[in-house]
Structures are given as C-alpha cells and as structure tokens.
Chains A and B, each alone.
Chain A
Amino acid sequence: MKMIFGRPLGLTEIKQRYCPGCGHGIVHRIIGELLVEMNIREKAIGIAPVGCSVFADEYFNCDMIQVPHGRAPAVATGIKRVRPECFVFAYQGDGDLAAIGTAETVHSAARNENITIIFINNAIYGMTGGQLAPTTLPGMRSTTSVKGRDVVKQGYPIKVCELLNALDGPYYLERVAVDTPKNIIKTKKAIKTAFQYQLDNKGFSLIEVLSMCPTGWGVTPVQAKKWIAEVMAKYYPIGEFRNRAKETK
C-alpha cells in the first residue's frame, strides 16, 4: 500500500505534549515539512525556547539547542556567526519573545541577523497556566487578569510586527494565522519565504503566527479558531509588514 500522508522526516516520532486544539502542532508540522522539502534538515540548527514549546528540541528532527527564556535570538546569532553555512531558526512564544526577550528580539532584528524566527502569538502564557502575556488583548481574561486586561493598570499589548517594522534592519516581517486551512497554507508559504531569505543571505525574518490556545483561553478548540478570526486578527491584522525583496524590485 502506498503511503500518501504521514509524518514528515523533519519531525521526530516522539509524541508531542501539546493540548488538543493547540496551534503549535500545526506550525511544527509546517516546519518539519519545509526542513525536508527545502533540503535543509541536515544543515539546520533549531532553537527551542522556554514556554510550551520548550520540548521543541525533541520534536524537530535536526540538531537542536534549548536555551534560556527570551534569549533565542542571541543564541541564534552566536551559532549563525560562527557557522554561516548552517540554517538557523528560533521557535519562540509571546512571553519568551515579546516580554523577557524583547531586547534580544529588537536588536537581532536591528542587526538584520541572517536568522529566521517563528513567533507563536497565542496571547497567553500557556506553560505556566494562563497568565497575562505581553500580547494578551485589552479586556481578555487571564489568571493574572481575572476580570480582563485593564489597560490602565496593566498596559497595552505589544504588536511585534508593527514594532519591528519601525526598524530599518529586518528583511521580512509577516503575520499569519493557523485557524483555517487557507491560513495554514498561507503560513507555510510565509515560513518558506522566510527560510529561503536566510538561504539567500538576506537577513532577519520573523513570522508571527496567531495560534490557538484553547486551554489557556478556557474555550473549546472550535471556539478558539473562531476567536482568532473574529477577535484576535482584528487586533493583530494579518499580512506582510516588511519585505525588502519587494522594495528593491
């Protein structure tokens, strides 16, 4: 019998620990497929963060390093600068990238480091049990904002693509979502584009992925997908923010 759909070689056979309806598995699969389709798995070094995707070092079937909270862009910089022949990607969540690691994110983008960052924005701290994230929406409930995010007391969310788009450095910034098959296909296209830019030595790419966290949000997986379309993507508009390949054409 011919296998027509299976686990891509870019993912290991280890069972992933993500919750039902979580978006991480979808993005993992996309990366796992691209590592093989783009023939980069054997020269890839991936970076696992702290957060729900801390175990990414077990899931991606390539060389991996698990690093301190928020410091993935710095570690990626160290690797890429001494091994420019390797393909280096960092996989980070919103607490990791937009709270504790904001400085590393901003400065690696400003340096236009030739690395790729996959940024999972699910507007919540998943691993630690649903606390307020730097991306938690105004009015959105979390375990540390039980009546909803009060912007007077807790400030406003950080829109990472918009923030980085204020810099001259980054080469490619795009926000995507994994709530529908159509958006998943677009996500794969964006990540593939970002990977290709690194292979072409273009510099810094960041793909922000709006991703479901039914557990952290206290909703069903189906409701979570709807919430992305109806609420989250209104606050965090999907689209290409920066693509210097197009600017120079």
Chain B
Amino acid sequence: MAEKELMYGNHALVEGVIHAGCRFFAGYPITPQNEIPEYMSIRMNEIGGVFLQTESELSAINMLFGAGSTGARAMTSSSSPGISLMQEGLSYIAGADVPVLVVNVVRGGPGLGNIAPAQSDYYQSTKSGGHGDYHTIVLAPNCAQEMFEFPRLAFELAEKYRNPALILADGLLGQMMEPVEIKGEPVNPKKLPEQDWWLTGCKGRERRIIRSYDLRPGKLEEWNWRRWEKYQKIIKNEQRFEQISCDDAEIIIVAYGTSARVSEAGLRLAREKGIKVGLLRPITLWPFPADIIAELSRKIENFLVVEMSLGQMIDDVKLTIEGRAKVHFIGHPGGGLPNPQEVFNKILEIRGKK
C-alpha cells in the first residue's frame, strides 16, 4: 500500500487537480476556499502550470471556457457568491459542450450569507444554475481522500461527455486534516489524446468552431435534444453512491458530503442500540443516484434526508421514491451543522411513529 500523508482537504484537492494533469487555474479570492488558490499558486509555479488571479469570477469562468476549448484541463474554485457570478459562463460552456472543472466550497447563503459550511447550492448545482436547459456533472466528496481523487474523476467524466463538471465541497471538508493516499500514476497533460473539437489552429484540417448559439429555425431545438440524449447516457451510466449498512436497514438516511459524515456517526449511535439504520450517500448529485434509492424504497418504509439547507436534495429523493415510502428531514440552512445526537434522536422519533 502506498504511503499516506496527512493533508488539509483543500490541499488534497489541489494535489488531486495537479495529479489529474490540470495545468490551468483561474480564480478570485473568496472565503472559505482561499487555501486552494494560495496553495495552487505555489504548486503551479513549481510545475510550470498557469495560475491566474482574476479580476472577477466572471473572468475566471471565461478563462476556463477559453482554455477548455483548446483541450486543456482547466479548473477554477470559488464559494457560493462567486459561483453565482459564474453561472452565465457555465451556461455558455455547457451550451458549447466544453469540459471544465469548477469547485464550489459552499458557504451559508443566500446573499453574502456567512462563511460557515453549507449545502444550500444543491439546486443551483444540479438544476441548470444558469439560463437554459443544461446539467453539470456534480461530485460530492466527503473526506480528504475524495478531495484528492474526485478532480481526476471529474475531468474524465467531463471529457468523456464534453460537459462541465463541478465538485461540491464545503469549508469543513476543506479545512479538516485527514490521511490521504496518493493513488495512481499522475496524468501527463501532454499525452491527452487530441480530440476532433479542440481549437488548436486549422493547419492541415478544416477550421473548427466552438459556440452555443444556433439561430436557424428548429436547429437549436435539435441540438438540445441531442444534448438530452447525452444526459440520458450520463444518468444511465454514471450514478455513483456509497451504501453503509443498508442490507438489513429499516430506516435509510440519505445524505452527502459533510452531512453524510455526521449522519454516519448518528447511524453508529443507533446501531449501538440495535436499531437497523443504513446510509445511502450520493457521490454524484447529478446524475442523482435514483436507481438505488428507487430500489431501496420498494422494501424500506422510512427515509431520512439530512442536509445543510432548507431542504433541496430532498426533492430528488421524493421524486425518486414516488410516495412509496415516508421521507423525513433534518435541515440546517445558513451555515448550520447537524450533529450525530440530533440524527439519532430523529431516528428514535421516526421509529416511535411506526
């Protein structure tokens, strides 16, 4: 087994990005993700990559649009208000089918909100945050190891489907120190196979155009339907999740990221008392792991959704379950955190209701 290193989640993410062959970062400072650009500026300088501190998040996302259009693995990181500013650019990027990576270290909102960990950008991340019909592939890490591993997965999925990808973290995951195993061979960005859409100059070939518009009658509708087909493939092939103690469970918790960490501790408290609780942790938030939840809802009566928001993912859980089971909820908006005892108490309450 490879050696493990104790790392901050944010630093693990930077190492993961570089390990994935990304040599282009553009971003604007915002708390609570500043460790990412700070550490990135040092690392990119060491390895001859590009680090750009931009005048705004609008500029950063559009730099990604440019870099990504030439086939480079390009990323930005920001936090909620900054990600809001990027939505126009993300819509163009999704509309032009360009792979890029955006990291959102979510903080409490709306507005300026606060800098505490939150999960209140779920809607924005998974339901076309900008204008038009589109989806972003969304990965939700819940530990430093996944902060290291998910950038590579995100780039691979983004390139496979020519679609922007997003990693949804929070300040707690970023600032927690955990052991990280540096897995796999690093990607050599110079060896990424050239694709037939990259802008590289038209020497020896037909010129290429990257754009998101088509004014010809009916053509944009056709284009959107082709993208819908791509989305169907992603939904079919890329649902990722982790199951903990689901096999014999009577109650299933659905939670991602930090909420899943807390929920797992609540689950242990319940198991100590002999209460059979399971945890289904979505790893991809889009595509949402609907198939497994639908399957579980055919034999389990009670689901508990735990989110650091007023309740956003719970909509997808309910849509998936289609009334076959009861869906309970613990929510903490505005940067509030759930705690294991609270989860345990809720489980007792749900059990009492039976």
Contact = CB atoms under 8 A, between A and B. Distances in A.
Interface of A: 41-45, 47-48, 54, 57-58, 61-68, 71, 74-83, 85-87, 103-104, 106-107
A78 B64 CA distance: 6
A78 B65 contact: yes
B66 A63 contact: no
A75 B200 CA distance: 14
B74 A78 contact: yes
Given A45-B199, A64-B209, A71 B59 contact: yes
B207 interface: yes
Contacts of A76: 66
A74 B60 CA distance: 7
Given A64-B207, A64-B209, A78-B65, 19 more contacts: A43-B203, A45-B199, A48-B211, A64-B208, A64-B210, A65-B66, A66-B212, A67-B62, A68-B65, A71-B59, A71-B65, A71-B89, A74-B65, A77-B63, A80-B66, A81-B24, A81-B50, A82-B74, A107-B54
B85 to A, nearest CB: 11
Interface in B178-234: 199-204, 207-213
6 contacts: A45-B70, A54-B213, A64-B210, A67-B65, A79-B67, A87-B201
Contacts of A77: 52, 59, 63, 66
Given A42-B201, A62-B207, A63-B202, A107 B70 contact: no
A75 B66 contact: yes
B55 interface: yes
A79 B58 contact: no
Interface in B36-85: 50, 52, 54-56, 58-60, 62-70, 72, 74
B202 A79 contact: no
Interface residues of B, number: 39
Nearest to B23: A82
A245 to B, nearest CB: 25
Contacts of B210: 64-66
Contact of B62 (A41, A83, A104): A104
A155 B193 CA distance: 52
B21 to A, nearest CB: 12
B286 interface: no
Nearest to A71: B62
Interface string B83-121: 000001100100010000000000000000000000000
A45 B199 CA distance: 7
A49 B274 CA distance: 63
Contacts of B69: 65, 75, 78-79
A63 B59 contact: no
A62 B208 CA distance: 7
Contacts of A64: 199, 207-211
Interface of B: 23-24, 26, 50, 52, 54-56, 58-60, 62-70, 72, 74, 88-89, 92, 96, 199-204, 207-213
Nearest to B204: A42
Contact of B56 (A57, A83, A87, A103): A103
A65 B199 contact: yes
A48 B23 CA distance: 25
Nearest to A65: B210
Contacts of B54: 74, 107
A62 B60 CA distance: 25
Contacts of A81: 24, 50, 52, 63, 67
The 5 closest A-B pairs by CB, nearest first: A78-B66, A78-B63, A74-B62, A66-B211, A75-B66
Given A68-B92, A74-B58, A45 B201 contact: yes
Name, among A45, A64, A65, A76, the residue most crowded by chain B CB atoms within 10 Å (CB to CB). Answer: A65
Contact of A75 (B56, B65, B207): B65
Contact of B201 (A44, A61, A74, A78): A44
A64 B208 CA distance: 6
A191 B88 CA distance: 31
B55 A57 contact: no
Contacts of B52: 77, 81
A65 B204 CA distance: 19
Given A74-B58, A75-B63, A82-B70, A62 B201 contact: yes
B50 A104 contact: no
Contacts of A57: 209, 211
A76 B52 CA distance: 13
Nearest to B199: A63
Given A71-B89, A74-B62, A42 B203 contact: yes
Contacts of B201: 42-45, 62-63, 85-87
B83 to A, nearest CB: 16
Given A62-B207, A63-B199, A81-B52, A75 B24 contact: no
A66 B62 CA distance: 11
Nearest to A41: B202
A61 B59 CA distance: 27
Contacts of B66: 47, 65, 67, 74-80
A158 to B, nearest CB: 17
A103 B59 contact: yes
Contacts of B203: 42-43
A62 B63 contact: no
A78 B65 CA distance: 7
